């Protein structure tokens, strides 16, 4: 994801989630609370595309993204908007690392089975539904920019006819981050 798109996504998310006082410090105009509510109620990316919240993001993106966009690209950005309204705090870690973390006991925040279901999602709507569930399970604390980039990567792979090197695929990167995070917490401290 390009730097300008990252900045746009982050500012859009901040306008949707942060308090007016925090936004005032950042010189960002708050989005109407109805935008977030509409996005949360949408069951599919198609429904998201018809909301004012998505429109606010889409119109802020650079022309090089919007002018050449096809239906797959628009669906990708709608999924990004729909997922990001579930992020409550812009953390430093990606979704897979947060999902693999162990809190109390020896269980990760997100079970291996649920995370595997996300990795094997076959349709964009199934991907969105599973993604939202996991974001909620990790209490909405993930990196906004990394999550948007991961969603963009998933869509690229989902719509691509060319196979990618295994180590470059998002499902492999997620698996490695998930298990790395889970095993780091499981190691005894010296």
pTM: 0.90
Q: Give the HSE-up count for residue 92: Cα atoms under 13 Å, Cβ half-sphere.
A: 0
CB 88 within 8 A of CB 43: no
190: pLDDT strictly greater than 70: no
Q: What is the pLDDT of residues 143-179, one digit of tens each?
A: 999 999 999 999 999 988 766 677 778 888 999 999 8
Look-up of token digits 């705090």: 89
pLDDT bin (cut points 50, 70, 90) of residue 185 is low
How do beta strands 89-90 and 141-142 pair?
parallel
**Candidates 1.10.10.10, 3.60.15.10, 3.40.50.2000, 1.10.520.40; CATH matching 3-186:** 1.10.520.40
pLDDT tens per residue, range 26-36:
999 999 999 99
Q: Please state the separation of Cα 163 from the chain's center in Å.
A: 23
pLDDT tens digits for 101-142? 987 777 889 999 999 999 999 999 999 999 999 999 999 999
Contact 123, 44 (CB under 8 A): no
Quote the pLDDT of residue 38.
96
Nearest to 150 by CA among 182, 174, 178: 174
49-93 per-position pLDDT tens digit: 999 999 999 999 999 899 988 999 999 999 999 999 999 999 999
| Among 28, 38, 116, 110, residue whose Cα is nearest residue 78 | 38
């Amino acid at each position: 994801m390009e730097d300008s798109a990252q900045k746009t996504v982050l500012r859009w998310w901040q306008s949707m989630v942060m308090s007016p006082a925090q936004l005032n410090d950042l010189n960002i105009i708050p989005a109407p609370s109805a935008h977030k509510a509409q996005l949360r109620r949408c069951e599919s990316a198609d429904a998201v595309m018809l909301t004012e919240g998505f429109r606010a993001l889409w119109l802020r993106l650079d022309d090089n993204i919007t002018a050449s966009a096809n239906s797959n690209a628009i669906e990708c950005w709608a999924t990004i908007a729909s997922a990001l309204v579930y992020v409550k705090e812009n953390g430093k870690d990606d979704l897979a690392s947060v999902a693999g973390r162990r809190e109390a006991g020896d269980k990760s925040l997100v079970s291996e089975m649920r995370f595997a279901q996300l990795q094997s999602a076959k349709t964009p709507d199934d991907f969105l539904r599973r993604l939202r569930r996991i974001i909620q399970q990790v209490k909405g604390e993930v990196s906004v920019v990394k999550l948007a980039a991961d969603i963009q990567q998933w869509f690229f792979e989902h719509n691509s006819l060319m196979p990618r090197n295994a180590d470059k695929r998002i499902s492999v990167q997620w698996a490695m981050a998930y298990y790395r995070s889970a095993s780091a917490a499981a190691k005894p401290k010296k």
